[in-house]
Amino acid sequence: MLFLYSHLCLMRSLNFFVLNRPAACWHKFILSLASAVLASTFAPVAVEARSQLYKPPALQFNRSISDQLSNRDIPTGQGGFARDYVITCKAREQITITVTSETFDPMLAVISPDGSTLAENDDAEDGTTNAALAVTIPQSDRYTIRVQNFGQTTGGSFQLQVTRSPAQQIP
């Protein structure tokens, strides 16, 4: 429907232009017309391709997953790689995230919907190189959990788990 409406408006504009402009202006109009048609034709395809390009898998609370970090994942720009997951959280709930690996030194980050880093950790308090975080979620939304390797290694296998406590009651 939108396609037909835009082409109807285009035809009315063309008719007005032909009747009210000298022949010397036609080349400018033809170029702008071609640009408008191409933009309206390819814009939906670009948006669809972009949305299909990056879709991190969803995590579920209280389930451990085993996965692999490799050079096919997101380059960090520091010689390492990262893998993202998304999880839906409620405001004021506390989540605990752990990632363990015997093949690389993992790092964790929680990224807010606006793209800012809410929390990050390299080494857990247990003295290992595994990573762990406890975070209180500020607002209900989808958050990104990023697992990456520390330093310039290609990664390896890891286990990731996210647990939650109930949302705190406001007095």
| pLDDT the model gives residue 3 | 43
Could you tell me if residue 109 is inside a domain? yes
Indicate if 49 and 69 belong to the same structural domain: no
Q: Could you tell me if 111 and 32 lie in one domain?
A: no
Would you call 154 helix, strand, or coil by DSSP? coil
List the beta bridge partners of residue 66.
159
The CATH number of the domain where 94 resides is what?
2.60.120.380
Considering the domain architecture, whether residues 85 and 142 belong to the same structural domain is answered as yes
For residues 82 and 73, the answer to whether their CB atoms sit within 8 Å is yes
Provide the pLDDT for residue 110. 96
- Strand ranges (DSSP E) for 19-167? 64-69, 74-75, 81-89, 94-100, 106-111, 117-121, 131-136, 141-149, 156-164
Residues 45 and 81 in one domain: no
- pTM of the predicted structure, to 2 decimals: 0.66
Q: Tell me: the pLDDT tens digits for 91-109?
A: 999 999 999 999 999 999 9
- In tens, the pLDDT along 110-164 reads 999 999 999 999 888 878 889 999 999 999 999 999 999 987 777 899 999 999 8
